[in-house]
């Protein structure tokens, strides 16, 4: 029997031990970015973007090249996956050309269908529901600046039903963190995601909660996180959202309610004066530039990890060149 193919479709596709392993590999790759070449050949990794991108395209392209591989950009507006031809057909075609497929799209179900047919690892580069690559970068950043993740208290302010908030619940729980989401009524996290995160937290010593009261989430927070109030695909709701989200802005008043040494994260793009004050994102607590850089290291690590676990790379190759740094 061949080894089952592993994917990163949602944050809980990685167990706590696997998440820790990916983060350790990401740290090793960061120390020696040009030394490990597990994708030498070069092996091709296809990247498909159905939504706008800057960090994801740049970090995957640079990271795949650093691993010795060949990034292949597929323009989602030309491929029109699911319209011009079925997801299953695209998956089987790309799976014969590429060693992994990275896809940014809308519904999570589309990504799951791609994974079912591709025969190679599929990585979620953001869907409406989850953004697991962002969370690996965020956790790597916090580990660098604060040390062990377990027990860290995180407050997420803003759209609690967005992809980044959902990924915080799952990935934070996996890491044994305490994640408290504060969002307006109507924008609280999907109850099924909250339930799954609660289940994971019960095994890791973490906890998750959701509230409409930002003060409740901010009290005792070590880390404060926000994201745009208007995610890609929701642009027509921008005006209405700005009104209801006002009290959840990550400004000086909000930061003052967290711990005195609290750090601030934002996945970017940021809208200064809306979800985050300029003085906060550009201030001393902000880790956003390390967070953006770490997308590359974390994504390199998860690609190599998934390929190795799928039997498509030798485990030794994943660490060759950075062995001492792990």
Contact with ligand NVA (CB under 6 A): which of 163, 174, 204, 299?
163
| Contact pick of 138, 227, 290, 317 for ligand NVA (by CB under 6 A) | 227
Q: Which is nearer to ligand NVA, 228 or 310 (CB)?
A: 228
Applying the rule CB under 6 A, the residues between 7 and 66 that interact with ligand NVA are none
Query: What are the C-alpha distances in Å from 158 to residues 170, 184, 225, 286?
Result: 17, 8, 9, 17
H/E segment holding residue 169 = helix 163-174
Contacts of 98 (CB under 8 A, 6+ apart): 43, 44, 45, 46, 72, 120
Closer CB to ligand NVA, residue 43 or residue 241?
241
State the Cα–Cα distance between residues 114 and 209, nearest whole angstrom.
Answer: 32
Stretch that binds ligand NVA, among 33-41, 112-120, 224-232, 250-258 (CB under 6 A): 224-232
Best CA proximity match to 121, nearest among 294, 3, 1: 3
105 makes contact with ligand NVA (CB under 6 A): no
Judged by beta carbon, residue 37 or residue 110, the one nearer ligand NVA is 110
Using CB under 6 A as the binding rule, whether residue 141 contacts ligand NVA is answered as no
Nearest distance in Å: CB 168, ligand NVA: 11
Q: Report, in Å, the least distance between residue 197 CB and ligand NVA.
A: 18
C-alpha distances (whole Å) from 23 to each of 165, 184, 295, 322 are 20, 32, 11, 14
* 162 is a site residue for ligand NVA (CB under 6 A): yes
Residue from 25, 99, 43, 27 nearest 310 by CA: 99
Smallest gap from Cβ 162 to ligand NVA, in A, equals 4
Q: Which is nearer to ligand NVA, 267 or 318 (CB)?
A: 267
User: Which range of residues in 32-40, 110-118, 199-207, 228-236 is near ligand NVA by CB under 6 A?
Assistant: 228-236
Find the helix or strand (DSSP H, E) in which 314 lies: none
Counting contacts by CB under 6 A, is residue 231 touching ligand NVA?
A: yes
Please work out the total of residues on this chain that contact ligand NVA, with binding judged by CB under 6 A. Answer: 9
Q: Which two tokens stand for residue 84?
A: 């011009």
Helix (H) or strand (E) holding 104: strand 100-104
Question: By CB under 6 A, is residue 164 in contact with ligand NVA?
Answer: yes
Closest CA to 66 of 295, 296, 302: 296
**Which of 24, 150, 232, 326 contacts ligand NVA by CB under 6 A?**
232
Of 11 and 227, the one with the shorter C-beta distance to ligand NVA is 227
Question: In the window 178-217, what residues touch ligand NVA (CB under 6 A)?
Answer: none
Cβ proximity of 111 and 105 under 8 Å: yes
Q: What is the 3-state secondary structure (H, E, C) of 187-202?
A: CCCCHHHHHHHHHHHH
Supply the residues annotated as catalytic.
Answer: 104, 131, 134, 227, 267, 295
Hey, CA dihedral for 78, 79, 81, 85, is it positive or negative? positive
What's the sign of the alpha-carbon dihedral 275, 9, 127, 45?
positive
Nearer to ligand NVA, 173 or 225 (CB): 225
Q: Which stretch binds ligand NVA (CB under 6 A): 38-46, 94-102, 159-167, 291-299?
A: 159-167
Which of 124, 140, 141, 228: binder of ligand NVA (CB under 6 A)? 228
DSSP assignment of 124-165: ES--SS--HHHHHHHHHHHHHHHS--TT-EEEEES-TTSHHH
Quick one: 159 or 317, whose CB is closer to ligand NVA? 159
Binding to ligand NVA by residue 267, rule CB under 6 A? Answer: yes
- The residues of the shown chain that bind ligand NVA, judged by CB under 6 A, are 126, 162-164, 227-228, 231-232, 267
């Amino acid at each position: 029997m061949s080894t089952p193919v592993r994917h990163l479709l949602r944050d809980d596709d990685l167990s706590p031990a696997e998440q820790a392993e990916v983060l350790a590999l990401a740290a090793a790759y960061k120390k020696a970015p040009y030394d490990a070449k597990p994708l030498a050949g070069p092996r091709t990794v296809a990247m498909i973007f159905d939504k706008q991108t800057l960090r994801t395209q740049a970090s995957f392209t640079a990271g795949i090249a650093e691993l010795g591989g060949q990034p292949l950009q597929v323009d989602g507006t030309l491929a029109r996956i699911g319209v011009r031809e079925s997801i299953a057909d695209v998956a089987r075609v790309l799976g014969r050309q590429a060693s992994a497929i990275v896809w940014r799209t809308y519904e999570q179900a589309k990504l799951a269908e791609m994974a079912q047919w591709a025969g190679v690892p599929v990585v979620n580069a953001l869907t409406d529901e989850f953004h697991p690559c962002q969370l690996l970068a965020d956790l790597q950043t916090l580990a660098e600046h604060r040390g062990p993740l377990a027990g860290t208290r995180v407050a997420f302010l803003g759209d609690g039903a967005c992809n980044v908030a959902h990924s915080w619940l799952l990935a934070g729980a996996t890491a044994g963190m305490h994640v408290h989401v504060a969002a307006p009524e109507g924008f609280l996290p999907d109850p099924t995601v909250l339930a799954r995160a609660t289940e994971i937290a019960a095994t890791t010593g973490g906890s998750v909660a959701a509230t409409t009261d930002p003060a409740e989430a901010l009290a005792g927070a070590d880390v404060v996180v926000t994201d745009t109030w208007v995610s890609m695909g929701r642009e027509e709701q921008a005006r209405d959202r700005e009104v209801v989200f006002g009290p959840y802005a990550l400004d000086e008043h909000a930061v003052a309610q967290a711990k005195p040494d609290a750090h601030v994260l934002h996945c970017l793009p940021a809208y200064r004066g809306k979800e985050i004050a300029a003085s906060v994102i550009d201030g001393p607590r902000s880790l956003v530039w390390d967070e953006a850089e770490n997308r590359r290291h974390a994504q390199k690590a998860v690609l190599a990890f998934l390929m190795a676990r799928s039997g498509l790379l030798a485990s030794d190759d994943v660490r060759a060149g950075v062995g001492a740094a792990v």
